[in-house]
Chain A
Amino acid sequence: MIPADSAIQFDRNGKLKHFLTISGLPRAVLTGMLDTAESFAGFGQREIKKVPLLRGKTMVNLFFEPSTRTRTTFEIAGKRLSADVINLNAARLSTSKGESIIDTARTLEAMHTDLFVVRDSASGAAHLIAAHLPDHVRVINAGDGRHAHPTQAMLDMFTIRRVKGGIKGLKVAIIGDVLHSRVARSQIQALNTLGAEQIRVVGPRTLIPTEIETMGVAATSDMREGLRGVDVVIMLRLQRERMDGQLVPSEQEYFNRYGLTGDKLRYADRDAVVMHPGPINRGLEIASDVADGSRSVILQQVTCGIAVRMAVMATLMGGSEERP
Chain B
Amino acid sequence: MYDSRQLAAIIEKMAGQINARQLPAPLLVGIHTGGAWLAEQLHPRLDSAPPLGTLDISFYRDDFSRVGLNPEVKASSLPVAVDNRDIILVDDVLHTGRTVRAGLNEIFSYGRPERVCLAVLIERPGRELPIQADIVGQSLQLAGHEEAKLTRDGGRLALNIIDLGKSAP
Q: Is A296 among interface residues, defined by CB-CB distance under 8 A?
A: no
For A317, give its contact among B65, B67, B111 (CB under 8 Å): B65
Whether B75 contacts A42 by the Cβ 8 Å rule is yes
Q: Which residues of chain A (41-74) have a CB below 8 Å from chain B? A: 41-42, 46-48, 50-53
From known contacts A39-B56, A46-B110, A48-B109, infer whether A321 and B66 are also in contact, taking CB-CB under 8 Å: yes
Whether A321 contacts B65 by the Cβ 8 Å rule is yes
Q: Is B2 among interface residues, defined by CB-CB distance under 8 A?
A: no
Interface residues of B (CB under 8 A from A): 56, 58-60, 64-69, 71-77, 105, 108-111
Q: Which of A42, A52, A315, A317 lies at the interface centre, i.e. has the most chain B CB atoms within 10 A of its CB?
A: A52
CB B75 to nearest CB in A, in angstroms, measures 5
Interfacial chain A residues near B108, Cβ < 8 Å: 48
Whether A47 contacts B76 by the Cβ 8 Å rule is no
- In Å, the complex CA distance between A319 and B64 comes to 6
Q: Is A35 among interface residues, defined by CB-CB distance under 8 A?
A: yes
- In Å, the complex CA distance between A53 and B69 comes to 9
Interfacial chain A residues near B60, Cβ < 8 Å: 51-52
Whether B75 contacts A47 by the Cβ 8 Å rule is no
Q: Is A314 among interface residues, defined by CB-CB distance under 8 A?
A: yes
For B67, give its contact among A39, A48, A52, A318 (CB under 8 Å): A318
Whether B109 contacts A318 by the Cβ 8 Å rule is no
Whether B59 contacts A319 by the Cβ 8 Å rule is no
Whether B73 contacts A319 by the Cβ 8 Å rule is no
Can you report 6 A-B residue pairs in the complex whose CB atoms are below 8 A from each other? Answer: A35-B72, A39-B56, A315-B68, A318-B68, A319-B69, A320-B65
Whether A32 contacts B71 by the Cβ 8 Å rule is yes
CB B53 to nearest CB in A, in angstroms, measures 13
For B111, give its contact among A32, A47, A314 (CB under 8 Å): A47
- In Å, the complex CA distance between A39 and B58 comes to 10
Interfacial chain B residues near A319, Cβ < 8 Å: 64-69
Residue of B with least CB distance to A41: B75
- In Å, the complex CA distance between A25 and B109 comes to 34
Q: Is A323 among interface residues, defined by CB-CB distance under 8 A?
A: yes
Interfacial chain A residues near B73, Cβ < 8 Å: 35-36, 39
- In Å, the complex CA distance between A314 and B68 comes to 8
Q: Is A38 among interface residues, defined by CB-CB distance under 8 A?
A: yes
Whether B109 contacts A51 by the Cβ 8 Å rule is yes
For A51, give its contact among B59, B71, B72 (CB under 8 Å): B59
Residue of B with least CB distance to A320: B65
Interfacial chain A residues near B66, Cβ < 8 Å: 319, 321, 323
For A38, give its contact among B65, B75, B76, B109 (CB under 8 Å): B75
For B69, give its contact among A38, A315, A323 (CB under 8 Å): A315
- In Å, the complex CA distance between A309 and B100 comes to 28
- In Å, the complex CA distance between A70 and B69 comes to 24
CB B66 to nearest CB in A, in angstroms, measures 5
Interfacial chain B residues near A323, Cβ < 8 Å: 66
Q: Which residues of chain A (305-324) have a CB below 8 Å from chain B? A: 314-315, 317-321, 323
Whether B64 contacts A318 by the Cβ 8 Å rule is yes
From known contacts A315-B69, A317-B65, infer whether A52 and B75 are also in contact, taking CB-CB under 8 Å: no
- In Å, the complex CA distance between A323 and B111 comes to 35
Q: Which of A15, A39, A48, A314 lies at the interface centre, i.e. has the most chain B CB atoms within 10 A of its CB?
A: A39
Whether B105 contacts A36 by the Cβ 8 Å rule is no
Interfacial chain A residues near B64, Cβ < 8 Å: 53, 314, 317-319
Interface 1/0 per residue, A22-44 and B, CB below 8 Å: 00000000001001101101100
